Amino acid sequence: HGVSAPHPSKSALAVGRREETEQYRDEPQSDYSNEDSEEYSESESESESESESDEGEDDDEEEEEDGFDMGNEALEQIRYRLETAKIDPNSPDGTKILDELLVRLQDSKAEVIDAQLVNEYIDELLFVETEGQESPLEITNGATMVEQNGRKPPPPQDPQQHPRIRISRGGKVLGWYQGQLDERGYAREGSGSMYYDAGHECHGTWQNDEMIGRGMYQWSDGHVYDGEWLNGKRHGLGRFIRPDNVVLYGRYEKGHHKGEGVRWSADRTEAQVVVDGVPNKTVSLEIAKKIATGLGFDDILPPV
């Protein structure tokens, strides 16, 4: 059933705020807290004069003519899109987007506002007006893609593969994603790859729009993490490889190296014990191998 929304107003849709970052050393938590919107009630005075009541009825008729129907599907889609984009509707950016969205929906003169129309306008607000793109969703074989505003396009793809989609989180456009999505088509879910405008790449499995399980992240400066993830952070066994080919084997918790690990030199002739990410002492290659084995690594000696 539709509800009448005569005039644009600030939405009280309650979703949370999340933050996503590509930094490899100090990654902020991706969890976010919900903020309850203010509740309010309206009361009408019974002491109004008859003339005031008549005038109020006339105003109601005019508002009814100018209003539009927004079904539950459209309202839920708005909540979903803001939550997926990690935009708090009560924040300045969220309020601005909602105000402009409601203005556009009313100006559309559509008899019924559906999810498709909501997606069209939100896409424009998140991508087109900020980037000058034609659409955030694009299927291409890579031949026609060019660098725009210094952004590096993702590698060429097979047209039969999943479409590329622009990803905006927390009010910031992050880059291109190619892979599986949720049933609504905007949250990353399943196997996929992320190509950040800053030059980073991330390949692996996604759940609830976050990396999970085995995955690889390569920063633009050449650092690489290959290992386990949880809720978008390095968590579990992993290898951290520096651009100079020095490699650290260890266990990670919420994005940081924890406990004892082992680090090999670039030529693999020397090894060091590393505790909580800090080199502790030099050890023999045999001891380094035992440490890695004890952690649970199968490929004990990393390739040169």
pLDDT at 51: 43
Whether the CB-CB separation of 111 and 117 falls below 8 Å is answered with: no
Say which residue, 40 or 153, is predicted with more confidence: 153
CA distances from 1 to 72, 114, 288 (A): 7, 12, 66
Please give the single-letter amino acid code of residue 126: L
Given a cut of 70, whether residue 136 has pLDDT beyond it is no
- Helix, strand or coil for residue 46? coil
Question: Residues near 45 by Cβ (< 8 Å), separated by ≥ 6?
Answer: none
Give yes or no for residue 156 having a pLDDT over 60. Answer: yes
Q: How many residues does the chain have?
A: 304
pLDDT tops 80 at residue 146? no
Number of helices and strands (H, E) in the chain?
Answer: 6, 15
Three state DSSP letters for 196-250: ECCCCEEEEEEECCEEEEEEEEECCCCCEEEEEEECCEEEEEEEEECCCCCEEEE
On whether the CB atoms of residues 176 and 159 are closer than 8 A, the answer is no
> pTM of the full predicted structure?
0.67
Contacts (Cβ under 8 Å, ≥6 apart) of 299:
none
Q: What is the pLDDT of residues 81-103, one digit of tens each?
A: 999 999 999 999 899 999 999 99
Evaluated on CA atoms 176, 178, 182, 185, the torsion sign reads positive
Could you tell me which residues are beta bridge partners of residue 141?
A: none
Say if residues 164 and 185 touch (Cβ distance below 8 Å). no
- The pLDDT tens digits of the residues spanning 180-191 come to 999 998 999 999
Residue (of 152, 233, 148) closest to 196 by Cα position? 152
Instruction: Tell me the one-letter amino acid at 292.
Output: A
Query: Mind listing the pLDDT tens digit for each residue in 221-237?
Result: 999 999 999 999 999 99
Q: What is the pLDDT of residues 65-79, one digit of tens each?
A: 455 567 788 999 999
Residue in the block written with tokens 């080919």: 245
Q: Are strands 188-196 and 172-181 parallel, antiparallel or unpaired?
A: antiparallel
What is the average pLDDT value for the chain, to the nearest integer? Answer: 75
Q: What is the spatial distance between Cα 158 and Cα 140, in angstroms, rounded to a whole number?
A: 8
Q: Is-contact 296 237, C-beta < 8 A?
A: yes
Q: What does the alpha-carbon distance between residue 260 and residue 292 come to, in Å, rounded to a whole number?
A: 10
Stretch (H or E) spanning 129: helix 129-131
| 92-107 helix and 115-123 helix, angle to the nearest 10 degrees | 120
**Interatomic CA distance for residues 94 and 87, integer angstroms:** 6
Asked if 2 and 71 count as a contact pair (C-beta separation under 8 A), the reply is yes
